[in-house]
Each structure stands twice: as structure tokens, then as C-alpha cells.
Chains A and B, each alone.
Chain A
């Protein structure tokens, strides 16, 4: 039972979900706690233990369906990707193409195991074949039959031939359901149907075989399913293996573009940004917090004073004062989303989104020519969706020419109250106002009210005076101007960029 779960976790990890070994262990414990017979319970257990971010849930659902549904292939869902190349490989021979199931129960004469699998089937899963498959797996990215993840579906033990043995039990069930041998049926029932239930779509099957509770109709239906499954076993296995193989391939990189032009952050970049922003957040000083720290002046801290003055017999010779400390960032972001900064847009957007989701007191304003508060759009949990809303032209005209002066003026007249002496203003943009009036006075006013103003520009200083850039003028007004266009640069300046002034 362990192997499929571990493998499933690996698959998720492969797709960029961060799963620690501890969480995988939790998943295993959880799986043991719930009944394997309920597909929904298994899914929810895995979800609760492995998936900790809302953004990963969709991927989880997709993968769970793919991974734990060998039946999918028969129901016309087999995706018609070209897998021809797989079949030509030698190890593909391990996939049986034909299986005969004898009408008679197999004789118990096979020395290798107590029950004996039907010979025809065993032939296709002999040790040599499995060994080959296994070796191939280690070299290439192949599925090994021996450690097959279908264990969860087919049985609990390790090797596939054991699984086939289980399938023989299923035949038992079918036959013994005929009147005359209920005892035998009950003897094997739990185990057999348990195994089978996990294979098929559990939801459609009757609860657990309390054997006598099964009415003939249900039994007939069950028998039909099992019949179909046995008959199609080769196709099922083949289809399932193919899909597994496909899943195990690392997801295709969307593009091989320069990172700066790629919109999506990969997991590693996202993590770095996350850590970096948390660090920035600790350095940003803004709102006052309730937390009192010892200070030279402030209010008397009674408990500490008493404790400290116990040495003077409780007479308060040496009062301890404490004052509120400012330790929460309060941010106002002004973000240029015009075409001229498109090439760094990806970085900027993720920076803004990250800041917004990490800190509670962030207000974000986007502008091209007009300025719009986009805070509410960025507060949903789906990054792509919210970014799409903001930058898809839905809330503001992103194709206009950027006009810094107008945006600043607008901010000054409408939102100046958002800024007080605890606020840090962060401007993200290149300062190219297309020869519109730059309205330095607006920024000046903003700067004077804010605790500090920081401008992050994607352009190096030597280009500032070129073309229609007002960056020189703006830079004079800001407390800091930093060249930041990707994570490395942000990291480099993060150390001192936002230190308390």
C-alpha cells in the first residue's frame, strides 16, 4: 500500500507541488485510518495531508483521477496521444497482449505459490520480464511492472503476479455466487471484493459484501463489471501503464524563453520570491503594533518593574518602561503596467502579488494613464486569474501611453489619505511619461507624507536621460531608487533597500 502513495506524492512533487517526507508519512497514516474501499475517503485523506495550498487542488484532482483510475481507458477516455514509440521499445513486451481465462478453476499444482495463477497470465509476468522492465525503468524513464503502482488497485502485495492471483479470487466470486457454495464466498469475500472495489469505480458498487445483503441484481451487475474487467485486462493494463508513463514525464516547459519574458513563475522562483518578501517585510517598518518592547521612555511595565525590583525588597527603585514598537509594514504600491515595462511585467506582477498576499496592509494601484486601485482584484487566491483581471484590460486601458504625471496627480487627489507617516510607498515603473507633464509636485507631496518612498525601476541609470524619461526628476524626490528587474537583483538589494530609515 505504501508504494502507490509514495509514488503519487512523487508525481505531485514532479508537477511542482511541495511535499515533504513528513507529509508523505502523514498521508500513509491517513490512508490506513480510512477505509480503502471508499474512493472519496482516500481522495480526501490524501488531499488533506498532501495539499496545503488552494492553488494545487485542481492539479491534485486531475492527477488523482488519472493515477487511481485504471478503468478510464476502457470508457473511451484514453487520450489519443501518440504513444507508438513506446510500443516499439523492447520493454513494451512486458505488457501482455492477450490473456486467456480458463473456465475451470485452475488446479492447485503450481509450486510457486499456494493458489497458482492461471498459466497463461503468469507467462506474461515472469521474473525475467519484470526484471527487464525494472532495469529499463532505472535507466530510462520507464514504468516498472514489479513495483507497479496498481498494487493499490490490484492487491496489497508487491509483485504483479500476486495481483494476478487476486484476480483469480475475483473469478471465484463470480462462480461461487451461484447457489450452492455461499460458505466459500464468505470466506474470501472481504479480501477479494476489497481488492476489486479499489480497481473499479467504487462509488457505483454496493457497500461491502455483507454477502447475504447482496441481492441478485447487484450481484449480477458486479459480475458483469468483473467479467468486463477480466476480458479487457490486457487493454486496461496497457492503457493504464501508458497513462502512468505519460504522467511520469516531467511536465513540458511551456516555453524556452528567457526567464524575463516568461509569465509564469516556476515553483522555485515562487519560493524564492516568497522568502525574499517575507524578509523584506520584516525590515519594513510601518504601523504600530500592540507589542511593547523595553524602551527608555514609555509606559511603566508593572510586572517587569516588580520583578526587577524584587532585589530592593519590592520598592520600585528602578522602573522598567516599555513602549509600543512599530513593526508592521504598511505599503502603498504604485505599479506601471504599460507596454514599455512589459518585459519586466512578469517579475513586477509577481512581486506585487506576493506583497499583497503576504502582508495585510497593502494597497495596490495600477496605472497606465489612469490610475485604478486593484487591491481587491489581487486578494483572491488564484494568481493567474487575478493578474488576468488586472492586466487583461478589464479594469483599465493597458494599451494607452503611460502618463506618470496624470497617474500621480490622480493618486494625489483621490487617495492621498492612504498615506500617512507610517506608510512606505513603493513605485514600480520606468518613469517614462511620454513627454506628458511629469507633475513632480505630486510625488513630492506624497513623499513628504510617507515614511519613505522607494522606486524600483527596470532601467539602469545610464538610460534615464534618454528619450522621454522623467526618471531623473523622480529619482531626486525618492528616498531610494533601485534597479530591480529580476529576483537576483531584488535579492542583492534586499539587504539594505528597505531598512528602517
Chain B
């Protein structure tokens, strides 16, 4: 495993998958590793379902990075049709060529007797205008015609219409595209296909049958900590545990959109930027919009913050006391300072220490001056 070059396109076994994804900062359980391994081994598309922000798209991106393949992405949307997903004839180019080649065509027609003769002579050459040269490749065709191996990401397929799904069946099962004028274009290299769905509607059964199915959910606490640690190298140890606990607590609430991993990452990143070393109520309230995106949800969570913090091992009552206390001191000593939020947050933490160690308290006051 270790002697193997990191860019190898195939995997040795499941643990190889997990390890190499981890090297690219993507932490996955063995379950996911197994499916990725099978997808590479059997050459079958993977249909990844799960709530937004649990790393479905990231899985495909990382897969491309790990295997050294090029990522071709098809973002699905309502009303998308085959000219946006598969291919389109480049009419402009065709027209241009007929104009430029007019003389050639004239000379070709020389000596023809009658229209029928001319037409039949022209017919011999019509292939020129319906060749791959005039074909505009859209993502699906691009992925299978690319000379270099690719990872094809079909993102949020549940947004697309049913007829596009049907169009994809040929691509997904045979890795080929049939163009009526040209015939069937087969793949130069089998792409690894990852299809994501937020499950806002059921994907058709025909498509599901052709895919390996993987449902991604929120990770376990340990795994989430690992993810945060990998993605945000400078994060404080205490903060890490608290962030994960609080976010997990919020997921248990009945919210319209529960915070997922990507939101947790944003939040932890912001807290690290603000130099927060330990959560308290005020910090959570100020930064909550990073986690919760709907007003109704924010209201719902506001009331639960003390309980959530308690869950994360932060005694809110005490915290509140210390917090007020700290503010008082802050004003005494820092009047001339413009008290930035980062400092303020830092400040709280130092007063935190005060609870247990009075020396630390004086130390922090010295530090402020």
C-alpha cells in the first residue's frame, strides 16, 4: 500500500480506499470505502443519496483527486435537456464551413448532369458535415469520449426532469452515446461515475437498478472531529469537541435544515478566525447564522443554546456569571482600546481559566495591558 504511487487509478482493497481518501483529507467509514472500491472494481456508477452538505459532491471530487482522473461535472437543473447534457451540433460551424467551402462544392458539382446526379454526388460527401468535428460535447459525452480517464459527477440528479434521467440510462449502463446522425459513440475510457441526489424526489427505478446505492448520513462524533481536525489544522482541541457536540445537538432538534458537515466546517473555521478557544453563549448567538439558515430555525435554536452548551460540557450558569464579570473587568482596563470581537472572545476564555486558577486570572489581566 505504501509503496504504491498515490495516483494509481485502481484500489487494492477497501482499506486502501479509505487510507488514500484520508490522505486527501476526506474521512469515510469503511461502508463508504467498500462502495467506492466496488464502483472502481465493477465499473458501475454510484448513486449517493443523503441530506445536503454531508460530502456527496466532495466524494466525487476527492475520488478524482485520489485516482488522478479529470473531473467532469454535470450540474442538473429543472428543464435541462439533451443539448445541455449530452451533445449538440455546432450549427454555426457547419454553416461557416459550407460558406468557406463553396468553391470546393462548386468544383465538385462540375460535370454533373441534372439535379439528381448532383444530389447523389453531394450525398457522398454529406458525412463531412455530420462528423464528430461538428459535435459540441456536453458533459456526459465529454466524460466518455475523453482520451484521459475521467470521473463523471452528475450532481443533484433529483433536480433534473425524468426525461433526462432516461437519457442517462444508456450512458450509465454501457458508457456509450447514440447520435442518430453518427451512430454510437463508445467510451474511450470508462469513467467512474458518481451521481448525487438530495432525495427531494425519488430517482427512477431504472436508474437505481444500474447503480450501486450509497446513503450518506451525518458522521459519528469521532469521525466528525477527525474531519474538522483535518480540514482546519489550527483548531483548538477544546473547541473542536464543543463544536461537534453542539452541532450534533442541533441535528436532534426538529429543524427545517439541520446543520451538516459543511456548515459545521464553516462555523469552526469562523470560530478559529475569531480566536475563540472555548464556546460560550454570546459567541454561539453571534455566529449562529453560519450554522442555521432559516429564521424559524434560528428562533428555535436560540432557546436551546444553554442546553446544547450544557451537553458540550459547558456550564452555562457559571459561564454567564463569568461572562458578566469579565465584561466588567474589560471595561475597567480596556477603556482606551477598541475592543475587537476576536480579543473579546479571547478574553472570555482567559476568564474561564480564572474559575479554576486565580493566577491565570491575574496573568490574563497583565496580558491585557
Instruction: List chain A positions with a Cβ less than 8 A from chain B.
Output: 18, 20, 22-23, 26, 29-30, 33-35, 38, 40-41, 44-45, 47-49, 51-54, 57, 274, 278, 282, 289-291, 302-304, 306-307, 310, 314, 327-328, 357-360, 376, 379, 381
Q: Please tell me which one of the listed residues A20, A29, A30, A33 contacts residue B209 in the complex, with CB atoms under 8 A apart.
A: A20
Asked if B116 CB lies within 8 Å of chain A CBs, one says no
Contact sample, A vs B, 5 pairs, CB 8 Å cutoff:
A26-B44, A40-B30, A52-B208, A357-B202, A360-B159
Do B38 and A48 have beta carbons less than 8 Å apart?
yes
Complex-state Cα separation, A306 to B79, whole angstroms: 24
Do B31 and A52 have beta carbons less than 8 Å apart?
no
Do B49 and A49 have beta carbons less than 8 Å apart?
no
* Extra contacts besides A40-B31, A48-B34, A307-B89 (20): CB < 8 Å: A18-B205, A23-B209, A26-B42, A26-B212, A33-B38, A38-B14, A40-B30, A49-B213, A52-B47, A53-B208, A289-B79, A303-B89, A303-B91, A303-B92, A306-B95, A314-B98, A328-B79, A328-B161, A358-B202, A360-B158
A52 in contact with B209 given A44-B30, A45-B34, A310-B95 (CB within 8 Å) = yes
The A/B interface has a contact count, at CB < 8 Å, of 108
Q: Please tell me which one of the listed residues B30, B41, B81, B201 contacts residue A358 in the complex, with CB atoms under 8 A apart.
A: B201
Do B213 and A40 have beta carbons less than 8 Å apart?
no
Which label, helix, strand, loop or mixed, suits the secondary structure of the A interface?
Answer: helix
Q: Which residue of A lies closest to B41 (CB)?
A: A33
Do A289 and B78 have beta carbons less than 8 Å apart?
yes
Do A57 and B34 have beta carbons less than 8 Å apart?
no
Do B80 and A290 have beta carbons less than 8 Å apart?
yes
Do A29 and B91 have beta carbons less than 8 Å apart?
no
Residue among B41, B47, B89 having the largest count of chain A Cβ atoms under 10 Å: B41
Do A290 and B38 have beta carbons less than 8 Å apart?
no
Complex-state Cα separation, A358 to B203, whole angstroms: 9
Do B38 and A376 have beta carbons less than 8 Å apart?
no
Instruction: List chain B positions with a Cβ less than 8 A from chain A.
Output: 13-14, 30-31, 34-35, 37-38, 41-42, 44, 46-47, 49, 77-81, 88-89, 91-92, 94-95, 98-99, 158-159, 161-162, 199-202, 205, 208-209, 211-215, 256
Do B91 and A307 have beta carbons less than 8 Å apart?
yes
Do A35 and B13 have beta carbons less than 8 Å apart?
yes
Complex-state Cα separation, A18 to B158, whole angstroms: 21
Complex-state Cα separation, A85 to B320, whole angstroms: 69
Q: Which residue of B lies closest to A42 (CB)?
A: B34
Complex-state Cα separation, A57 to B46, whole angstroms: 17
A-B pairs, top 6 by smallest CB distance, nearest first, are A290-B79, A289-B79, A44-B34, A52-B208, A33-B41, A48-B212
Do B37 and A34 have beta carbons less than 8 Å apart?
yes
- Chain A's nearest CB lies how many Å from the CB of B203? 9
Do A381 and B98 have beta carbons less than 8 Å apart?
no
Do B38 and A34 have beta carbons less than 8 Å apart?
yes
Do A30 and B213 have beta carbons less than 8 Å apart?
no
Residues of B within 8 A of A302 (CB): 91
Residues of A within 8 A of B80 (CB): 290-291
- Chain B's nearest CB lies how many Å from the CB of A89? 39
Do A381 and B199 have beta carbons less than 8 Å apart?
yes
Residues of A within 8 A of B49 (CB): 54
Complex-state Cα separation, A187 to B212, whole angstroms: 37
Residues of A within 8 A of B91 (CB): 302-304, 306-307
Complex-state Cα separation, A289 to B78, whole angstroms: 7
Complex-state Cα separation, A359 to B81, whole angstroms: 18
Residue among A26, A302, A376 having the largest count of chain B Cβ atoms under 10 Å: A26
Residues of B within 8 A of A23 (CB): 209
Complex-state Cα separation, A306 to B88, whole angstroms: 14
Q: Which residue of A lies closest to B88 (CB)?
A: A303
Residues of B within 8 A of A290 (CB): 77-81
- Chain A's nearest CB lies how many Å from the CB of B134? 11
- Chain A's nearest CB lies how many Å from the CB of B36? 10
Q: Please tell me which one of the listed residues A18, A328, A376, A381 contacts residue B256 in the complex, with CB atoms under 8 A apart.
A: A376
Do B92 and A306 have beta carbons less than 8 Å apart?
yes
Residues of A within 8 A of B205 (CB): 18, 52
A314 in contact with B202 given A291-B81, A303-B92 (CB within 8 Å) = no
Q: Please tell me which one of the listed residues B30, B47, B95, B256 contacts residue A41 in the complex, with CB atoms under 8 A apart.
A: B30
A41 in contact with B202 given A22-B209, A30-B42, A314-B98 (CB within 8 Å) = no
Residues of A within 8 A of B161 (CB): 289, 291, 327-328
Q: Please tell me which one of the listed residues A26, A44, A53, A307 contacts residue B31 in the complex, with CB atoms under 8 A apart.
A: A44
Residues of B within 8 A of A53 (CB): 208
Complex-state Cα separation, A135 to B256, whole angstroms: 57
Residues of A within 8 A of B46 (CB): 48
Residues of A within 8 A of B47 (CB): 52
Do B34 and A40 have beta carbons less than 8 Å apart?
yes
Residues of B within 8 A of A33 (CB): 37-38, 41-42
Residues of B within 8 A of A48 (CB): 34-35, 38, 46, 212-214
Complex-state Cα separation, A18 to B209, whole angstroms: 10
Residues of B within 8 A of A359 (CB): 201
Do A41 and B34 have beta carbons less than 8 Å apart?
yes
Residues of B within 8 A of A304 (CB): 91
Q: Which residue of B lies closest to A362 (CB)?
A: B201
- Chain B's nearest CB lies how many Å from the CB of A236? 28
Q: Which residue of A lies closest to B91 (CB)?
A: A303
Complex-state Cα separation, A415 to B78, whole angstroms: 25
Complex-state Cα separation, A22 to B207, whole angstroms: 13
Residues of B within 8 A of A291 (CB): 79-81, 161
- Chain A's nearest CB lies how many Å from the CB of B177? 19
Q: Please tell me which one of the listed residues A44, A289, A303 contacts residue B35 in the complex, with CB atoms under 8 A apart.
A: A44
Residues of B within 8 A of A379 (CB): 200
